[in-house]
Chains A and B, each alone.
Chain A
């Protein structure tokens, strides 16, 4: 176990990308403020660098019978800790984190600290919009204006007829509809050899980052009126996730509100990496940066794979003829779903 005594050593280690578990109810900005304040307090409480003494040249004086100039050192009060004050301020920390969600969302949030390479790595991996996994908790029987449990109630509905089988039936239909749309975006028949080649290369991701895409949706728990959906998607927004819940409930001839949204995975970052609120301090963050190292490396490896933006990116396989109407659907005019 390494022991850090000096603030400067800790400061040097506070550079990197890690992830935290954001509790529900606090804003995303308060992650940054909390981390900066806590680090400032802790670093200022650690040891500081020793102050070099002040060199003084004394003239020869007749009192001491010294005929030469003498060199002495005295403590330098100009750099005394009581005079210069705390060594670190909260503005010294360059902190970035992923945002763009309701403050009611809880879960894995990626944070980078340091303005050099950590910042560049963070920007690169967040621009990519990796696949995220969400748990959405819902409750049947209510509809509110903002789809949340805390909102204004618009209507009450019955939900006795809702069963787990009916719910799963709709979810598989919903998932299949999205898969079909992905193939349509490339202009490929899902039953063809071309589609197989595309699939064998990895995840199908159209180049357009503004359209949310859903890869997998399933029901992980069902205790009426409460139920939980697990959703894997890219380019998602909070409204998109709430809309999924609403779509599901509407199709079952009922209505539902969201009680909790929890992100359990962001790319390669999982709940195991995430730091709890009480661990957002110097020791916790340095450990977190270490633990997140492999995940960051995996994310960077994914960056080398290009987006499959067009059919031309596929190396082999028969091509469609030029007059085929399905080719007119490209990534740019990809139909938006759920809005």
Chain B
């Protein structure tokens, strides 16, 4: 009987699933699989057509998931192979530039340095750095400790203290137990306001007697650390060293500057320590970490990468988060740059100009460099030139900044691709520092009002970085003096650089041949 019912139920389920499959699943799949923005790729079904699905006549939702997992595993395999082919992510890094010994690789060198540093640190007398740690950590107990504490409290060896609640101090009854509300007259009759409750007085005496019952001597024997403090005389030498306790929390590093050796060392180097105040992790690192263990290896790495001693200051100031990166990962990035033929001097400019590049992943660096090369049509040396000119370039997102500006320059303003490439090599800041609207506004003024041709703007791309107001004032002044001659083939030529850059005194004596006072008075008529 039971089996028959089960079979019937299963049959109905099968029917239901087949109906669903034919009515809902098949129809949208065949239509949506053609569209690019369909939901199906999310299910892993973009490769499946109706024919493929029809090969599984009994496929229900679980079968679809099987297909999905198959596709995923195939993708995983592909990505794994490609990653293993990638030079930057190989497990076995080849040795870097040969040392004097020529045997140790840098990775081993850092391992050894780290080991020696830790060994040296262990030899030193221990420092109580805990005074700088988050104060809550001391009181925050683990679960086991917490349980042990509770257990300790429960089986105490000395007498327990019981507190009896007086009637008017007793905890209020919950809503379920709430008694019927009495009338005001009844309440008054029960408890006159001015009378003292005799029960309360009794309970007080009970508590005092209980406290007297405690065996204080026994507590002192079993828990010597809980003994009350002994009196100290003022003439004791120890008293000279007693000072108010350091607050274990602060809104900046300044309050620890007299105590912390790390901060003293940073001040000696000339690092602007106040910049670390806003970064909690970094200030924690400088306060609690020992220099030789937590900072010196990273400094050594920077020196090894190509920095001078004076430059370390600026790197620490500008991106101290580099100390939170792992050394092998940093070395991996250096290794990647070397595989792209970045020499020592170029690595130095990258590390000084944009230390934040070393906080990006290798994958992202590679993608940005690749996009840069591909979009502008550069050769390898030109990519390195751009990085030498403005290493921060690859930290900007492509779609919203530099590619947008590139397309704007080509499609809206009418520069050729070669001109745009020339502009990039001359001044990469134009593509990342300015928004599209600002560029088009300034170009509009320079091209249509001042009258500079495209080739001239492409030859001096940095004039796009100058404020439109400055250009306007100077151009109109020259125009009033009839000296606005920007054609290099004719006499009295004013170059775009002389027009836009330099102080007003230089401009007035060099281009306008007028006094600065006249120029100021002219500016007040605009």
Contact = CB atoms under 8 A, between A and B. Distances in A.
A53 to B, nearest CB: 12
Nearest to A107: B524
A-B pairs with the 5 shortest C-beta distances? A85-B274, A59-B240, A77-B257, A83-B254, A83-B273
Nearest to B468: A25
A213 interface: no
Contacts of B526: 23-24, 106
A58 B243 CA distance: 12
Contact of B272 (A24, A76, A85): A85
B504 interface: yes
Given A59-B237, A59-B241, A274-B524, A83 B504 contact: no
Nearest to B269: A82
A80 interface: yes
Interface in A249-276: 262, 271, 274, 276
26 contacts: A23-B523, A23-B526, A25-B468, A26-B469, A54-B258, A57-B240, A59-B237, A59-B240, A60-B237, A69-B240, A77-B267, A80-B257, A80-B267, A82-B267, A82-B272, A82-B273, A82-B274, A83-B252, A83-B254, A83-B267, A84-B252, A85-B277, A106-B526, A262-B525, A276-B520, A278-B504
B270 interface: yes
Contact of A82 (B237, B255, B258, B271): B271
A72 to B, nearest CB: 13
Interface of A: 21, 23-26, 54, 57-60, 69, 76-80, 82-86, 106, 262, 271, 274, 276-278
B270 A82 contact: yes
Nearest to A61: B237
A173 B418 CA distance: 63
Nearest to A106: B526
Interface of B: 237, 240-241, 252-255, 257-258, 263-264, 266-267, 270-275, 277, 468-469, 504, 520, 523-526
- The secondary-structure label for the interface of chain B is helix
Given A24-B526, A85-B272, A277-B469, A78 B240 contact: no
Contacts of A80: 257, 267
Given A23-B526, A57-B240, A77-B258, 4 more contacts: A21-B524, A25-B469, A26-B469, A277-B469
Contact of B253 (A54, A59, A83): A83
A77 B264 CA distance: 8
A54 B237 CA distance: 22
Contacts of A21: 523-524
B179 to A, nearest CB: 60
Contacts of B254: 78-79, 83-84
Nearest to A54: B258
A76 B263 CA distance: 13
Contacts of B525: 262
Contacts of B504: 278
A179 to B, nearest CB: 30
Contacts of A76: 258
Contact of B255 (A58, A78, A85, A262): A78
B259 to A, nearest CB: 9
Given A54-B258, A78-B257, A84 B240 contact: no
A220 to B, nearest CB: 12
B257 A83 contact: yes
Contacts of A274: 524
Contacts of A78: 254-255, 257-258
A80 B258 CA distance: 10
A151 B146 CA distance: 74
Contacts of A60: 237
B11 to A, nearest CB: 73
Contact of A83 (B240, B263, B469, B524): B263
B374 to A, nearest CB: 38
Contacts of A277: 469
Contacts of B252: 83-84
Contacts of A84: 252, 254, 274
A276 B267 contact: no
A23 B469 contact: yes
Nearest to A85: B274
Contacts of A54: 258
B258 A276 contact: no
A25 B266 CA distance: 46
Contacts of B468: 25
A222 to B, nearest CB: 17
A276 B241 CA distance: 60
Contacts of B267: 77, 80, 82-83
A83 B264 CA distance: 10
A31 to B, nearest CB: 13
Contacts of B520: 276
Contacts of B523: 21, 23, 276
A271 B521 CA distance: 9
B149 to A, nearest CB: 39
Contacts of B255: 78
Contacts of B271: 82
A77 B277 CA distance: 15
B449 to A, nearest CB: 14
B526 to A, nearest CB: 6
Contacts of A77: 257-258, 263-264, 267
A59 B266 CA distance: 29
A54 B259 CA distance: 13
A21 B525 CA distance: 10
A277 B273 CA distance: 34
Contacts of B257: 77-78, 80, 83
A83 B262 CA distance: 13
A147 B431 CA distance: 36
A21 B274 CA distance: 37
Nearest to A108: B524
A276 B263 CA distance: 44
Find the residue from A24, A83, A85, A86 having the highest chain B CB count within 10 A. A83
A21 B270 CA distance: 41
B400 to A, nearest CB: 24
A250 B236 CA distance: 98
Nearest to A58: B240
A57 B239 CA distance: 12
Nearest to B519: A276
* Most chain B beta carbons < 10 A, residue from A59, A76, A79, A82: A82
A25 B473 CA distance: 12
Contacts of A79: 254
Most buried by A among B271, B273, B468: B273
Interface centre among B468, B504, B525 (most CB of A within 10 A): B525
B524 A271 contact: yes
Nearest to B238: A59
A59 B270 CA distance: 32
B253 to A, nearest CB: 7
A26 B469 CA distance: 9
Contacts of A24: 526
